[in-house]
Structure 1
Amino acid sequence: MSQTGAALADTTPPSLAKPLVKMEHVSKIFSNGTLALNDMSLTVERGQFISLLGPSGCGKSTALRIMSALGDITTGTIDWPSSRISSKGRPEGDISFVFQEPTLMPWKTVFGNVYLPLKLRGVTKAAAAPEIEKVLKTVGLQDFANAYPRELSGGMKMRVSIARALVTKPKLLLMDEPFAALDEITRQRLNDDVLKLWRETGITVIFVTHSVFESAYLSSRIVVMRARPGQVFDDFPLVTSAERDEDYRTSEEYRAACEKVSHSLQGAIQAAGGHH
């Protein structure tokens, strides 16, 4: 049976696929002299759900911006082995970013906000409509396409932001503490939604958080960072036997995972001299 090149690319087992991002000995010094990252190495394999966990000010968001090519590095190398690289040396179209705030255009409808990245690529609204409808259904907002941001709750605004990130069909979804400002119930619901999305689409996710509980619930791999300067302190897989759902939240296995992650985070804080 013959297959097209595109189909072959899609069916490559993750073990044989090139990494999505490869950071090697990366350091970042800001213009004010702050050493934000020091000698950070990290390889992101396809299909993983990675939590970047660490105390505030440990460089998690800086690392994420560098991975998305929104920030430059001072020393070291960063490569996107699976991506087409532009003439400026940046990956083209494979990475989407969900920020801490939804950053929606208040004068545009939900549909209009999700359409924005496709519009920037020159896709007509008519051609984009089926994909936008599909992605709104994925995040549970199919009935709110014509609503404006002011009419939405905080959780719904964040769903729009996620839909906008997904509409370009990225290989890598970067999420920078997207649920930190939400109440606990909304946050748990969105955690479940993101996990479902990850399972169904096979997308790779890097999720920045400083919540032990959130990282232990979501991740297939946890990267713990120490602060000042930021670097990888610990990096381990988190495999569970059970489906991560409401029952898992009260299970002994989840409690043990939280304990392991918490212990690692404490080690990172102590290694940084206890400042956090």
Structure 2
Amino acid sequence: MNFKTPIVDLTNVSKIYNKQIWALKKIDLKLYRGQCISLLGSNGSGKTTLLRIIGNNLKNTTGTINYNLEEENILKAIGLQKREQSWPNGFKVKDINDLWIRIYDMNDLEWINKLKDVFGVNEIEEKYLNKLSIVRLQIYAIFLAFISKPELVLIDELSSDIDFRYEEKITNFFKEYLSVGNTLVLNSPSYYFLENLTDRVVYLNDGEIFDDLLIKEIEKEYKTVMEYTKSIFKEELVVEKKIKNKSKFFSTMNTKTETYSNNLQTLIEQLECEEHHNEKMLNRLKEVYFSVLDLKTNIDNLSVSYINANSIKIISKKIKATIKSIKKLTINYRYKKYHKTLNSIEKFLSKELKRTFANDKVIVNGDVLSITMSKTEKKQLEKLKERYIKEEQKIIRRKILKQQFKKEKKKIVKDKLVQESLKEDITNEIK
């Protein structure tokens, strides 16, 4: 069992609802064996969406997720406790127990009995599910998440209303579960579970990872997790006050990028309705649409967060990439009917946005906000560059290997043809 290799590795994972609401924005996250990770953040910050995506219960819009599980059946390897607990009338707890045991083909009665004891299931087996309290249903849902002996368990709700008798039992069980190399992710757990179980805190804000710290780092700087969360909350309030004026500056950009993304969406829908539409053209239009949508999101984020050199550079890079995508389309005369829309977008990007984000200074309400990079930001940027170079090298290696494979294949085919030709010549000679 490799504790250094992530059990789950998320790269550039985003979730977009209704083509414009970003629930998660380019998440990079590694979950390791033996760790208990607590997801923190305000309501609507993307914690439940992230849990469901990790649990293979919700499809991500972009990015990749790699699992390093020993169990081949992902549904058996990952246990997910959902927040919503609604069961149909007439079902007793024991009926669902039997159903889950059959679904996962669980013959380990010792494990089932242990779970029943830890989560107090023996006491409620004869009761109807729709008669149980919300807290009881939450605990029961955690019991169900553990039935298949998963390697990774994701808990969406661990209430502070749990009876103290169960708090200790559940905590001790979780510690035992983690000690053998399993992984646990808790969404906004109560302070009891936060203080007694957590190895690492991932703090989400507006669909992005705001902080990712080991509990040791938090205790060193803030003494307790409670003090850390208070400090983060204060920081968020300070930011909210600072951004009121700044958001006005960005409102025109937001309005224009939204208008252009809507225009592009209309073009895409029109093209899709055409009987013999050009698929290549459609894909390129979609590429431009997602670039503009991505730009809008980045500008939205900047209007409600800190301005730093890295965020300015990212937007500047995205503007250039979007202009490049548009130019690929406007070069082609066949797509002239789309040129008016595309040219107006390009003009806005080149003459307004590009100039605004051209350097590390942004003018807000007549004041110049200078942006300087901290040592930490510089290190992060270097790491990103290094990772980007490594990814590029991988792509280049793949291309080289592909080319070599094609050459070898051609050579084998050629050799076979030569051999067949020789055989034919020898046969003719003998005749």
Fold match by TM threshold 0.5: yes
2:43 to 56, 67, 70: 56
Question: Is 1:42–2:19 an aligned residue pair?
Answer: no
Whether the 8 Å contact between 2:93 and 2:125 is mirrored in structure 1 is yes
1:237 paired residue number = 214
Describe the shift of the 1:190–1:37 C-alpha distance in structure 2 as closer, same or farther (beyond 3 A): farther
2:243 paired residue number = none
Whether the 8 Å contact between 1:226 and 1:268 is mirrored in structure 2 is no
Describe the shift of the 1:210–1:47 C-alpha distance in structure 2 as closer, same or farther (beyond 3 A): closer
Q: Which amino acid aligns with 1:238?
A: I
Q: Which amino acid aligns with 2:198?
A: S
TM superposition score normalised by structure 2? 0.48
Q: Which amino acid aligns with 1:263?
A: S
Structure-2 separation of matches of 1:212 and 1:128 = 33
Structure 2's unaligned 5+ residue stretches are 241-300, 306-431
Whether the 8 Å contact between 1:115 and 1:128 is mirrored in structure 2 is no
Task: Say which one has the larger Rg.
Answer: 2
How much has 1:45 moved relative to structure 2? Answer: 0.4
Structure-1 separation of matches of 2:189 and 2:30 = 21
1:5 paired residue number = none
How much has 1:30 moved relative to structure 2? Answer: 1.3
How much has 1:119 moved relative to structure 2? Answer: 2.0
Moved over 4 A (4+): 83-86, 127-131, 187-191, 210-214
Question: Is 1:201–2:180 an aligned residue pair?
Answer: no
1:33 paired residue number = 20
Q: Report which stretch shifted further, 33-42 or 203-212.
A: 203-212
Structure-1 separation of matches of 2:234 and 2:90 = 45
- Structure 1 or 2: larger helix share? 2
1:263 to 228, 231, 238: 231
Q: Which amino acid aligns with 1:98?
A: Q
Q: Which amino acid aligns with 1:154?
A: I
Structure-2 separation of matches of 1:211 and 1:199 = 16
Q: Which amino acid aligns with 2:79?
A: S
**Aligned with 1:69: secondary structure?**
coil
Structure-2 separation of matches of 1:101 and 1:256 = 31
| Equivalent residue pairs, number | 236
Whether the 8 Å contact between 2:138 and 2:157 is mirrored in structure 1 is no
Q: Which amino acid aligns with 1:226?
A: N
How much has 1:28 moved relative to structure 2? Answer: 1.4
Q: Report which stretch shifted further, 158-167 or 256-265.
A: 256-265
Describe the shift of the 1:105–1:118 C-alpha distance in structure 2 as closer, same or farther (beyond 3 A): farther
Describe the shift of the 1:143–1:216 C-alpha distance in structure 2 as closer, same or farther (beyond 3 A): closer
Q: Which amino acid aligns with 2:215?
A: L
Structure-2 separation of matches of 1:232 and 1:199 = 26
Sequence identity (%)? 26
Q: CA offsets per residue over residues 114-148 of structure 1, 9 Å max, x none? A: 33333224x38xx4755433320121332332232
Alignment of 1:1-276 (within 5 A): 12=1, 14-15=3-4, 18-84=5-71, 91-121=74-104, 123=105, 127=107, 131-179=111-159, 184-186=160-162, 191-202=167-178, 203-209=182-188, 215-227=194-206, 230-239=207-216, 256-267=224-235, 270=239, 273=304
Whether the 8 Å contact between 1:114 and 1:132 is mirrored in structure 2 is no
Describe the shift of the 1:265–1:225 C-alpha distance in structure 2 as closer, same or farther (beyond 3 A): farther
Q: CA offsets per residue over residues 134-165 of structure 1, 9 Å max, x none? A: 32012133233223224543333222211111
Structure-2 separation of matches of 1:46 and 1:258 = 25
Structure-1 separation of matches of 2:127 and 2:109 = 16
Structure-2 separation of matches of 1:137 and 1:22 = 33
How much has 1:36 moved relative to structure 2? Answer: 1.2
Whether the 8 Å contact between 1:99 and 1:176 is mirrored in structure 2 is yes
Q: Which amino acid aligns with 1:73?
A: N
- Structure 1 or 2: larger strand share? 1
CA RMSD after TM alignment: 3.1
Whether the 8 Å contact between 1:54 and 1:210 is mirrored in structure 2 is no
Describe the shift of the 1:92–1:161 C-alpha distance in structure 2 as closer, same or farther (beyond 3 A): closer
**Aligned with 1:142: secondary structure?**
coil
Describe the shift of the 1:114–1:224 C-alpha distance in structure 2 as closer, same or farther (beyond 3 A): same
How much has 1:216 moved relative to structure 2? Answer: 4.4
Whether the 8 Å contact between 1:58 and 1:225 is mirrored in structure 2 is yes
Q: Report which stretch shifted further, 135-144 or 65-74.
A: 135-144
- Structure possessing the higher relative contact order (Cα contacts under 8 Å, 6 or more residues apart): 1
Describe the shift of the 1:34–1:213 C-alpha distance in structure 2 as closer, same or farther (beyond 3 A): farther
Q: Which amino acid aligns with 2:150?
A: P
Structure-2 separation of matches of 1:138 and 1:69 = 26
**Aligned with 1:55: secondary structure?**
coil
How much has 1:254 moved relative to structure 2? Answer: 9.7
How much has 1:23 moved relative to structure 2? Answer: 0.5
Structure-2 separation of matches of 1:85 and 1:261 = 38
Structure-2 separation of matches of 1:32 and 1:193 = 44
How much has 1:85 moved relative to structure 2? Answer: 5.4
Structure 1's unaligned 5+ residue stretches are 1-11, 241-252
